[in-house]
């Protein structure tokens, strides 16, 4: 599956002064456009209702930062540490995450549209009540992550670690888990209707269907 790629300008302004640029944008109620943030840091600061367009974030460390109701369109995150960042109700459209760390990151009620994640560590991340469509998650670790009451449409998990991830009240019809590690996933059972699994995975999941496999 291919997602729609970010549309990045060829004329980006390089900067590591992320906090001052964001503060100025919030003060002026303006969008942030065409920046390449390199080695920028953010720690426990709060960014609220800011739009980022055609931006690259490279080797940035935003641990424990807060982005509330912010919008990311045509953005790339490369080798960033986003652990424990709060992206509640943020909107991501045509965004690529690659080689990023997002342990404990909060994407609750976020919207993903044409998002790709590759080689990311998203252990204990929270994607509850998220709306995710046209997105690809590849070789990414979502172990112990939460997808409760989320909405999936045209998404692919490929070679992902979903051990003990929670999918309660998230319909999985059409989701192909055959390349993924899904042992210990948490759900009620009804979510599995129409999901695609291997025979071995089916035996493990049979406990949710009240079956005894001998």
pLDDT at residue 105 greater than cutoff 90: yes
Q: In sequence order, which residues have a C-beta less than 8 Å from that of residue 50 and are 6 or more positions away?
A: 22, 25, 26, 31, 32, 67, 70, 71
CA distance 186 to 163: 9
**For the segment 140-198, what is each residue's pLDDT rounded down to a tens digit?**
999 999 999 999 999 999 999 999 999 999 999 999 999 999 999 999 888 988 999 99
- What CA–CA distance (Å, rounded) separates 25 from 107? 23
Q: Which tokens go with 114?
A: 């044409």
| Domains of the chain by start residue, with CATH | 13-209 (2.160.20.80)
Examine the pLDDT at 120 and tell me if it is beyond 90: yes
């Amino acid at each position: 599956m291919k997602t729609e790629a970010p549309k990045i300008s060829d004329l980006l302004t390089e900067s590591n002064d992320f906090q001052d640029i964001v503060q100025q944008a919030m003060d002026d109620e303006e969008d942030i456009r065409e920046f390449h943030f390199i080695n920028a840091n953010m720690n426990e600061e709060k960014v609220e209702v800011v739009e980022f367009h055609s931006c690259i974030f490279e080797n940035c460390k935003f641990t424990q930062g807060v982005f509330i109701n912010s919008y990311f369109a045509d953005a790339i995150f490369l080798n960033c540490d986003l652990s424990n960042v709060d992206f509640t109700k943020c909107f991501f459209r045509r965004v690529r995450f690659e080689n990023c760390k997002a342990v404990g990151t909060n994407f609750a009620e976020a919207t993903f549209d044409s998002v790709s994640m590759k080689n990311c560590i998203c252990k204990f991340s929270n994607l509850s009540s998220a709306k995710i469509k046209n997105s690809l998650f590849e070789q990414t670790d979502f172990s112990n992550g939460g997808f409760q009451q989320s909405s999936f449409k045209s998404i692919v998990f490929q070679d992902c670690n979903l051990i003990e991830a929670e999918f309660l009240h998230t319909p999985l019809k059409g989701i192909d888990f055959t390349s993924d590690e899904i042992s210990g996933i948490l759900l009620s059972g009804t979510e599995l209707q129409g999901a695609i699994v291997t025979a071995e995975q089916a035996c493990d999941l049979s406990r949710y269907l009240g079956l005894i496999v001998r």
